Structure formats: structure tokens, C-alpha cells
Amino acid sequence: MLHVDSVTAGYGAISVLKAISLRVAEGEIVTLIGGNGAGKTTTLNVICGVVPVRSGKVVFGGRSITGQSPNAVVRLGMAHSPEGRKIFPRMTVLENLEMGAFTRNDKAGITSDLERSFALFPILGERKHQLGGTLSGGEQQMLAVARALMSRPKLLLLDEPSLGLAPLIVARIFEVVKELNRGGVTVLLVEQNARTALRLAHRGYVIETGEITMEGQASALLADERVQKAYLGE
């Protein structure tokens, strides 16, 4: 479904991604783990068109999306729940969710997907008229995930959905990711919490200073001594 081929990218004079390659097959949950500053967020931002590709290519659903705008990429079926939540603080929960559906005009489908958001995250239903900026951190994270789902993506990119959240909320978010995946959504998950991510995912990649240094089945990475030392605190 997604092929990232030898992609380099960076900011100004700084090169961050050094010819990284990864792929995500339809139906998979794939996780990208790595330390702070390794290039995880940059990788997701390159895939969804927010950061330009300098060389290499990104192919989604069989067609090249290299150089496409983020909006065009959403229309092709990819949604991104960015790091740091980035919800619209002066809009209500409901308006934030409606923004997530900006590519659609099927009113009935949108209404039923709003209902689905509130079924997945009941707290959002209770707070649908509250301004996004006044939600708690965990509620904002749920809103960011729910908003991404409003475009009915085939592929969902999640950047650190568990960051700074209480264990119960983290558990809920990962449960939702699992449910969505069972329902047919493919997921590329970036996480600092490597153990939880590898338990949830089918496969994983390790990124270190802009290079993919390991890849494999999630269970094999969990059992790998280098991964355990570097990312699992063992």
C-alpha cells in the first residue's frame, strides 16, 4: 500500500533522512521506533506531503505521491494524526471533527462517522460543544485521532499518540487502533513507547539518526537484544 524508496529530506542545510526505505502492506500495523530526533516525525511528514522529498520517491496505492500537497494526499486516502495533537483550539470538538471530513460531501456518511467517533471515544460526545483548546491533553489526543478518521482513510499515520497520557487513556487509544485495524484500516505508528507499539504492531522499523537500522516482525524486534537495550530499557 505504501512504499517509501530511498527518500532523503531535511530542513534548510540540514539533512535529516538519509535514503530511508520502508513499506506498509494493506491491513498491517507497522511501527517506526527510534530515539528523540531520529527522524520519525520527519518521516511521517514526508509521507503525507508536509515536508518535501529531496530525492527518492513515495508511492501510495500504486501511484507516486512524491511532491503532492497534503490535501491531495488526504483525498487519496491517507490521514495523519500529527505529533503534539495540533487540533484547532478555537473550534468546538464537533467543528474539529467536521474539518477532518473536508474532502467529503456525503452528509449521511459524515453524520454516521461522527457517531462512530463518539462511540469510539464517548468523552468526545459528551464534550462536542466544548472548544478544542479547553480539552485535557488526553481528550485532545483522542480528538486528533478521531479527526484523522473523519476522512475515512485507508492508511492512518499516527505520530506519538500516547505522548504524555495516563496509562488508561493510552490503553484506550491503542485499543481503538486495534479495532480500526480489524475494520480494515492500515496503520503506520510512530511511538516512543516501543514496547507497547511492538506488541500492537505486525512489523517494525528502527530509525537512528535518519537511517533505518533494523526491520522485522514485531515479535522478533521485541526479542532482539539491541532493541531491548536501546528502546525497551532491559
Ligand X SMILES: Nc1ncnc2c1ncn2[C@@H]1O[C@H](COP(=O)(O)OP(=O)(O)OP(=O)(O)O)[C@@H](O)[C@H]1O
Contact positions vs ligand X (CB under 6 A): 11, 14, 16, 34, 36-42, 83, 192
* Residue 4 binding target from Mg ion, ligand X, none, CB below 5 to 8 Å by type: none
43 binds Mg ion (CB under 5 A): no
- Nearest approach in angstroms of CB 83 to Mg ion is 5
Task: State how far the Cα of 227 lies from the Cα of 194, in Å rounded to an integer.
Answer: 9
Pick the piece of the chain touching Mg ion (CB under 5 A) from 24-32, 45-53, 79-87, 202-210.
79-87
Give me the 200-229 binding string for Mg ion, x by CB under 5 A, dash otherwise.
------------------------------
In whole angstroms, give the CA distance from residue 231 to residue 234: 8
The whole-angstrom separation of Cα 46 and Cα 8 is 9
Q: Distances from the Cα of 106 to the Cαs of 28, 46, 101, 137, 184, in angstroms?
A: 28, 29, 9, 31, 20
Q: Of the two residues 27 and 37, which places its CB atom closer to Mg ion in the complex?
A: 37
Of 7, 30, 39, 41, which one interacts with Mg ion (CB under 5 A)? 41
- The distance of closest approach from Cβ of residue 201 to Mg ion in the complex, given in angstroms and rounded to an integer, is 17
CB closer to ligand X out of 82 and 132: 82
DSSP labels, 164-199: T--HHHHHHHHHHHHHHHHTT-EEEEEES-HHHHHH
Shortest gap between Cβ of 60 and ligand X (angstroms)? Answer: 20
Distances (CA, A) of 112 to 107, 118, 157, 209: 9, 10, 22, 43
Q: Which residues pair with 206 in a beta bridge?
A: 33, 214
45 near Mg ion, rule: CB under 5 A = no
Minimum CB distance to ligand X, residue 98 (Å): 28
Q: Which does 37 bind (CB under 5 to 8 A by kind): ligand X, Mg ion, none?
A: ligand X
Phi-psi region of 130 (alpha: psi -120 to 50; beta: other; left: phi over 0): beta
CB nearer to ligand X: give 38 or 194.
38
Contact call for residue 81 and Mg ion (CB under 5 A): no
Catalog residues that contact Mg ion under the rule CB under 5 A.
40-41, 83
